[in-house]
Amino acid sequence: MASIILPTFEWTRSCEQLARQLEPEDELLVVCDHEDDPVANADLPDEAELLVAGEPEGCSGKANAVALALEHASQDRIVLTDDDVERDDDWLATIKRLGEEHGTVTAIPVFTSEEYPFKLFEPLCLVVASFVVEGTNWVTWGGGVTFDRREIDLEGYVADLRRTVSDDALLAEYTDDVVASRELVSEVRVPGGPRITYERLTRFVTIFYRFAPRRTLGILGLFAAVAAVGVVTPLLVAVAATLLAYDRYRALGVDRRTWLFAVPSLVLTPVLGAAGILRPTFVWGGRRYRWDDTFDVTIFE
């Protein structure tokens, strides 16, 4: 049994996939911003409760929604997820089982798109997810993460959610050990036009930078150094980067050929990284945010 928290504006196919997997003692907390959001009039399952979070103040809409739902959750096992995750038929059962076995467990995201330019960055997102999410406790992924509320300072987590942007990077600050499972490699299909790609990727960089600036700069420096070496030995670097991407695709069981875009991903990463750190604002979920420090968030209408 678990309390599953699902922030969403509308009832999507992903939400339907999740609803079909609920067990009788599970509760599904569906959280929207306003009473006139489309999901407020959707035909929700019997296990679901609709919560209206209202406009966020000093935090992101996602963090505001998660904070409210945590205050209403009745179960000890918490599952956080999103409305755009592709789920196998046993996705929910698997994440609950792994959570009972290991404590805090995160799925590994694979962001895909059929649009450019995001398609060029699929290898970047997958390789970073493979090494950062799977290999460290640096971040969890809010599209699929579970924890036991008794094992963290829940009151502190809720309070901090209401003054930051990223619910998942913040959760990693409250847990000592995170297990990333290859049983939970989750595809997320995203729009990939120029503007939305820029907003998404620079937001990712900003999240990393706000919670771990030195490590973020170190990773960006590594990408820049490899790209610089590629100027001298382009063939060697191109082959090595492509083989690394191919290996990570196979390791996570991802059957796509976008690993072939490893070189443009490598070349463009330092540019996007610098933009994510230096740009003053970003857009997420229809709101523009200025995020000056981990717990210093301004929302612009």
Its pTM stands at: 0.95
Beta bridge partners of 81: 144
Q: Tens digit of pLDDT for each residue in 30-89? A: 999 999 999 999 999 998 999 999 999 999 999 999 999 999 999 999 999 999 999 999
- Cα 227 from Cα 189, distance rounded (Å): 28
Q: What are phi and psi of 200, to 5 degrees?
A: -65, -50
In the predicted model, what is the mean pLDDT of residues 106-133? 93
Return the amino acid letter for 218: G
User: Of 20 and 129, which is predicted with more confidence?
Assistant: 20
Q: How many helices (H) and strands (E) does the chain have?
A: 11, 10
In the predicted model, what is the mean pLDDT of residues 197-218? 94
Return the amino acid letter for 143: G
What letter does residue 120 receive in the DSSP assignment? Answer: G
- Cβ count within 10 A of residue 90: 11
Three-class DSSP category at 266? helix
Q: Is the peptide bond before 117 cis (omega within 30 degrees of 0)?
A: yes
User: Of 276 and 134, which is predicted with more confidence?
Assistant: 276
Q: How confident is the model at residue 176 (pLDDT cuts 50, 70, 90)?
A: confident
Average pLDDT, the chain: 95
Three-class DSSP category at 288? strand
Q: What percent of the chain has pLDDT over 70?
A: 99
Q: Tokens 């191919």 — which residue? A: 246
- Cβ count within 10 A of residue 179: 17
Q: What are phi and psi of 271, to 5 degrees?
A: -65, -50
Q: Tokens 């995020």 — which residue? A: 291
Return the amino acid letter for 115: E
The residue extents of the domains of the chain are: 3-295
CATH of region 3-295: 3.90.550
- Cα 244 from Cα 108, distance rounded (Å): 18
| 256: its two tokens | 């796509």
With beta carbons less than 8 A apart as the criterion, state whether 139 and 132 touch. yes
Q: Which of 195, 190, 202 is nearest to 271 (CA)?
A: 202
- Cα 204 from Cα 132, distance rounded (Å): 12
Residue 137 has pLDDT above 70, yes or no: no
Q: Which of 221, 143, 147, 226 is nearest to 185 (CA)?
A: 143
Residue 261 has pLDDT above 90, yes or no: yes
Three-class DSSP category at 3? strand
